[in-house]
Chain A
Amino acid sequence: MIRDEHRERERGGAAKEFEAEASKRNSNLFGELWSFLSENRKWWLLPLIAVLVLVGGLLVLSSTALAPFIYTLF
């Protein structure tokens, strides 16, 4: 009985802790990419990801109404 109550308390604690974490702000993509590279020590991906992020920015801009001006800037 006591063990059950203890388990229930633990459960409640875990749920609250997780709920508190869930209410925080989302981390941004670049921060996550950096964490991923540093934790996994995959530094060889850094230049590739940096270039792809730039290209991605261009591609995103080229899907907006400003696309015709971006093409001409090339």
Chain B
Amino acid sequence: MTRIDVSDIQGFALRGYNFPYARYLLLELAPAKQARALLRKLLNVVTTGERWDINNKPQSTVNVAFTHKGLEQLALPLASLLSFPLEFQQGMRARSDILGDSGTNAPERWDPVWREQYVHAWLAVNARTAEALEARSREMQQFIDETGGARLLQSQDAGAIRLHGKFSTSEHFGYTDGFGNPDFKGAERDCVPGQGKLTKRGEWEALATGEFLLGYADEAGELPVSPIPHLLGRNGTFMVYRKLHQNVNTFRAYLDAKGKHYQGGKEKLAAKFVGRWRDGTPLELSPDMADPTIVADPNQNTNFTYGEDPAGIRCPLGAHIRRTHPRDAFGFNGGLVNRRRIMRRGLAYGEYVPEGQPVSDSDERGIIFMALNASIFRQFEFVQQQWIEYGNDARLGNDKDLLLGNHEGKGKFVVQGTADHANPPFICGALPNFVELRGGDYFFLPSLTALAMIATGTVDPR
């Protein structure tokens, strides 16, 4: 039985807070002495994974993570710095070739903060209200001013999109997002059907803790690669931060144009792109219409497999959710995908423009995509390279993910179908880039113990 110490793990690593407001403070750290003073201030306020008292839920949360450059600035011993996995040491910019971040997604085209500078730390505030966000942000700025521990390079706001006066989990293309996140052993919630791994009996169970937290056995029964000393890594994890700009006008125009020719109709085509209807209904469970009762039921909304749909008649082989979480699509009861899972945290940024209103691609609008995993190389980078920017595993040759792929006007998306006139085969070609990368980096999200060691200069690799 795996036991994890939730009071030592940053809350962000254990759960999505589901707060509607967020601000990511991108920091350049001062030399180690002042930067450590800032971290000692943060130690008192960093949100842990402890369960919240129902009558005393916090109004806001604080979490912190560092790039390798940031850990260098904090003067970690060289032996510790060199013990981090290579991809984290290199950072995302240097990994652009293998990630397919070229052309419009190339680092030269990123926002200045990611292109011209080196972000050392990510200081995240999540909040229930706009007031709580401002109050907590002021406190963070006060810490920075008092200690001289950092310089604010950029403040990135994000938040839930408001639909019909209420906060939603929708994103700018109009899809309800954020259904699935892998369950792992020791995390507080029970395994939700569809969210862990498949057993040989076809049931769902939690994944090994070591797929998401350092210091625990992973799906191979091994400890993930972790920095030394052991305490520096244990209860920590790695985070991928990608600012994904969404070309909403391009997306809507493309869907309109193609939807006119698709006999299943525009909304069904939108569903085929992703594998869910825009309200979130999985195509596998309801191929012909959206069904709010399925969406509302946590025992159903991620509880499906692709084994009965090998040709992609219900959910296309290249649909976004089938590519990125193939479940049993590759056979072997899903055994081939258990080491390629990532936890997603993400929030929209920029103003939401309802359907039917004029919208521009050039406005600042998109998703701050964050993924957590024990091995960026084995998990996130594999998914990005093989399942987003390539199609061979899904038997789709070099087709890319329709939504996220770096198509540059080429490429195609195939909707598999039948002779049924409402579900015909259909080809979407000349794909533009619906999403563009505007920057980001790889971060280490330390445990509270590790944060205290870093803050006091007591990391000792001997």
A and B held together in a complex? no
Please report A residues at the B interface, Cβ cutoff 8 Å: none
